[in-house]
């Protein structure tokens, strides 16, 4: 009988290990040797800086790698069979030789962000609708302005407003769930048309009690990556448009002047929690200045970090955050839950979840 191949789980992450992680991994996956390497977040090219942090020999025996940005040269990881990335998107590693020149399965943390990001989306939307920045200015000046301002009488609640979710993955589904609870009508858009109930189901990781597992929340579904299909979706009297789709060659600058002119029909509010490059940023600034859009909340920009002298900072009716909408105390715990699911499935020879389709880029 052949000797089983040694298994090694190597974690290289820019966050401290959760309490008792090593013990839990040994109990659930005793066949695996476990090593955790903490490093500070580094925005340099992953291949260029990984050798500064992890000696190449550390990768030699690794069969499973958990990482965010740090990937080894393919020659340094001859035994690697699975990569688990602690992010939903993989555009930041799409040009790495591991991604382009190997067939090592790559799985993501898709599904862990939904609750946190959905709350951020609704928080920014409600803050804009209810003039929270204006109220805070009153507070800082110690002004009781109830009798002297009429602008609050123009506040419109969300009931009956239509939210278009452009990119109906795990994040989009939780945004839909909380929006529906606020009385909004939800319509969904996906790159691949979902015409049957089976196609509309969510087959990835779902935080219990969240999302839209069976795809029943939207009142209408739209799909396709051609401009005609996109414009048909945007023409559906959308009050709020949320971007929650991955960045690929086909989605870069997906929204620009023509799309903002369509949204001007209802003077829509735009929220982007996906990637900054999906929007033509100068066109967005002009749309805000013209009043084609009533406002925008951006957790992502192009580039990042946004330079101090970038005109986006001073665009009217805008809220900008430094790519933090998905950050939270439960992030790491949920990401390791996905890893645990896939390690268990891998050991049983079952199909993995959250597997990146390289040809699609996500």
Q: Any idea what DSSP says for residue 164?
A: E
Tokens (6 digits) for 61: 């025996």
Per-residue pLDDT 10s for the chain (362 aa) are: 445 678 999 999 998 888 899 999 999 999 999 999 998 776 555 544 676 788 888 999 999 999 998 899 999 999 999 999 999 989 889 999 999 999 999 999 999 999 999 999 999 999 999 999 989 999 999 999 877 678 888 899 999 999 999 999 999 999 999 999 999 999 999 999 999 999 999 989 999 999 999 999 999 999 998 999 999 999 999 999 999 999 999 999 999 999 999 999 999 999 999 999 999 999 999 999 999 999 999 999 999 999 999 999 999 999 999 999 999 989 999 999 999 999 999 999 999 999 999 988 88
Task: Point out the catalytic residue in the list 130, 286, 323, 358.
Answer: 323
Task: Point out the catalytic residue in the list 173, 275, 334, 346.
Answer: 275
Going from the N-terminus, what domains does the chain have, and what CATH number goes with each? Answer: 7-111+330-348 (3.40.50.720), 114-320 (3.40.50.720)
Residue 362 to residues 10, 209, 255, Cα–Cα distance (Å): 23, 25, 19
| Sign of the CA dihedral with 262 first, then 264, 267, and 271 last | positive
Residue 40 to residues 22, 50, 69, Cα–Cα distance (Å): 20, 11, 11
How many residues in the chain?
362
Torsion, Cα of 255, 260, 262, 268 (10° steps):
110
Q: Any idea what DSSP says for residue 205?
A: -
198 counts as catalytic: no
How many C-beta neighbours within 10 Å does residue 135 have? 15
304 counts as catalytic: yes
Closest C-alpha among 122, 123, 223 to residue 175: 122
The Cα 90–Cα 99 span in angstroms is 9
Task: Point out the catalytic residue in the list 304, 333, 350, 360.
Answer: 304
């Amino acid at each position: 009988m052949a000797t089983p191949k040694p298994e090694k789980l190597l974690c290289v992450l820019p966050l401290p290990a959760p309490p008792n992680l090593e013990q839990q991994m040994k109990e659930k996956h005793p066949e695996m040797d476990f090593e955790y390497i903490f490093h500070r977040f580094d925005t340099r090219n992953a291949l260029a800086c990984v050798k500064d942090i992890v000696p190449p020999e550390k990768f030699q025996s690794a069969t499973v790698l958990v990482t965010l940005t740090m990937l080894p040269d393919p020659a340094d990881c001859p035994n690697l069979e699975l990569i688990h990335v602690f992010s939903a998107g993989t555009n930041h590693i799409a040009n790495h030789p591991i991604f382009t020149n190997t067939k090592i399965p790559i799985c993501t943390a898709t599904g862990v962000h939904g609750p946190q990001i959905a709350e951020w989306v609704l928080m920014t939307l409600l803050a804009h609708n209810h003039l929270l920045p204006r109220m805070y200015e009153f507070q800082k000046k110690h002004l009781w302005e109830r009798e002297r301002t009429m602008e609050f009488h123009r506040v419109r609640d969300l009931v009956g407003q239509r939210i278009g979710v452009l990119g109906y993955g795990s994040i989009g589904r939780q945004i839909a769930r909380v929006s529906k609870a606020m009385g909004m009508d939800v319509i969904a858009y996906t790159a691949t048309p979902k015409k049957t109930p089976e196609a509309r189901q969510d087959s990835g990781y779902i935080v219990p009690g969240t999302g839209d597992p069976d795809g029943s929340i939207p009142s209408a579904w739209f799909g396709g990556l051609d401009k005609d299909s996109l414009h048909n979706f945007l023409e559906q009297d959308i009050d709020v448009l949320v971007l929650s789709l991955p960045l690929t060659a086909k989605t870069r600058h997906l929204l620009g002047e023509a799309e903002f002119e369509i949204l001007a029909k209802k003077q829509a509010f735009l929220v982007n929690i996906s990637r900054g490059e999906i929007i033509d940023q100068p066109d967005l600034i002009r749309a805000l200045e013209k009043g084609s859009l009533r406002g925008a909340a951006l957790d992502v920009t192009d580039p990042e970090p946004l330079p101090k002298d970038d005109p986006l900072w001073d665009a009217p009716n805008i809220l900008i955050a430094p790519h933090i909408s998905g950050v939270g105390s439960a992030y790491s715990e949920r990401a390791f839950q996905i890893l645990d699911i896939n390690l268990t499935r891998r050991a049983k020879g079952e199909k993995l979840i959250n597997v990146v389709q390289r040809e699609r880029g996500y």
